[in-house]
Structure 1
């Protein structure tokens, strides 16, 4: 296998467990395998546990300053957003609660959405040129449901989603061992190992392609030009 050059790439792993540090996070345990693979291949990795930060609800970039009719007194999101935007790769990790992603994951995605109207230096949406994936843990079925939800949300914001961009592990139905618990079998599960490995490599490949090509191709996707009247060949209803 020819080794691609991933040096210089940056990834941010955003763990949306409900548990603040230093509590054991099974989601982090699975994410750590992907992190180790990225670091082994020269990717600079930043790890954020969202529950350690004061992330206020809302869909504005800064809930202290941007909220009409009542600013909030604290919000860690602007500093976290800088770290996320500095990365070529975003991997969002979440446990499953009540069959869905965590409430913390929902809040993070809402805050990402608050930046989605901003533009990059090509006039495209801000997340163009970046790639994303998702890692899910739980002990009941729902990995594909959560991945479908999260990956749709991230591509809607502008992230490029590569093939097989999700990985997860589930224990037995009902109360039982979680991923890192002794005897769970989680770390030894080949299916999870394979999906996690493919996801990680595909994220690195996609990020490298985007970097080496100067970002997501420009053409027919500039919000700035659209707002200035350019229609990129869209049929004119007046001439139908």
Structure 2
């Protein structure tokens, strides 16, 4: 993906080192690889900016994997014959930045996207070394494509879900492209205007930089400070700044 002049200038003027950061895009398209994904076209912009700044990037299509339905980390333990979510989850846990991307269908995120969020939820009770929820210290964003309304609705749902699981959400953490309502060209179709759309390019660029900046700040700070948010301490009876006669 070739960046425009403004995007290239931002990268060349950067004074930050992001080379120890890892980013993962989960492209929740309904199309298996190698079929063309219009959502991937929008991912390409963000990925190129990240890689230009030294961030290690991986893009996966969950639809390429055999994923079971459910809200447990490994659904083979719940009677399913096969579940490849643990492979994806290892990459999720290794990433400082997670970007969930989805097309719009009937005004909603894709069914694959819903399944991914359900599977992310399966690890919501896990704890890190400080007794916080496992996703603390990571940042999240989202990208949406489609030619029907619903971009902000999908973004609200995805970003709420990520922060509820423990991800930190920076300012301007979403971007989208929408074509004309109804049948019409999709993002990568000739004449769509998608790749040239200034509004989408601006928001995608801002989202990407904000994800890098917040990930850098959190990593340099050693994570989210562990006070008032430790599930392990709460379960032990600690109430942090509130008096608790049962725990001294």
Provide TM-score, normalisation by structure 2.
Answer: 0.92
Q: Could you report, residue by residue, the CA deviation over 1:116-145 in whole angstroms, capped at 9, with x for unpaired residues?
A: 000000100000000000000000111100
Q: What is the CA–CA distance in structure 2 between the aligned matches of 1:74 and 1:141, rounded to whole Å?
A: 36
1:233: Cα distance to partner?
A: 2.0
Please name the residue that 2:173 is paired with: 165
**Structure 2 gaps, min length 5:** 1-12
Pairing partner for 1:89 from 73, 85, 97? 97
Pairing partner for 1:211 from 211, 214, 219? 219
Pairing partner for 1:60 from 61, 69, 72? 72
Please name the residue that 1:101 is paired with: 109
**2:201 paired with 1:189:** no
Please name the residue that 1:145 is paired with: 153
1:4: Cα distance to partner?
A: 1.2
Q: What is the CA–CA distance in structure 1 between the aligned matches of 2:134 and 2:115, rounded to whole Å?
A: 19
**2:40 paired with 1:28:** yes
Q: Secondary structure at the match of 2:75?
A: coil
Q: Secondary structure at the match of 1:225?
A: helix
Q: Could you report, residue by residue, the CA deviation over 1:93-132 in whole angstroms, capped at 9, with x for unpaired residues?
A: 1000010100000000000000000000010000000000
Pairing partner for 1:18 from 30, 34, 40? 30
Please name the residue that 1:222 is paired with: 230
Q: What is the CA–CA distance in structure 1 between the aligned matches of 2:149 and 2:114, rounded to whole Å?
A: 19
Provide TM-score, normalisation by structure 1.
Answer: 0.95
Q: What is the CA–CA distance in structure 1 between the aligned matches of 2:64 and 2:124, rounded to whole Å?
A: 24
1:3: Cα distance to partner?
A: 1.6
4+ runs of 1 displaced by more than 4 Å? none
Q: What is the CA–CA distance in structure 2 between the aligned matches of 1:112 and 1:28, rounded to whole Å?
A: 21
Q: What is the CA–CA distance in structure 1 between the aligned matches of 2:183 and 2:242, rounded to whole Å?
A: 54
Q: What is the CA–CA distance in structure 1 between the aligned matches of 2:157 and 2:141, rounded to whole Å?
A: 12
1:235: Cα distance to partner?
A: 6.4
Q: Secondary structure at the match of 2:95?
A: coil
Q: What is the CA–CA distance in structure 2 between the aligned matches of 1:81 and 1:230, rounded to whole Å?
A: 31
- RMSD over aligned Cα atoms: 1.2
Please name the residue that 1:154 is paired with: 162
**Structure 1 gaps, min length 5:** none
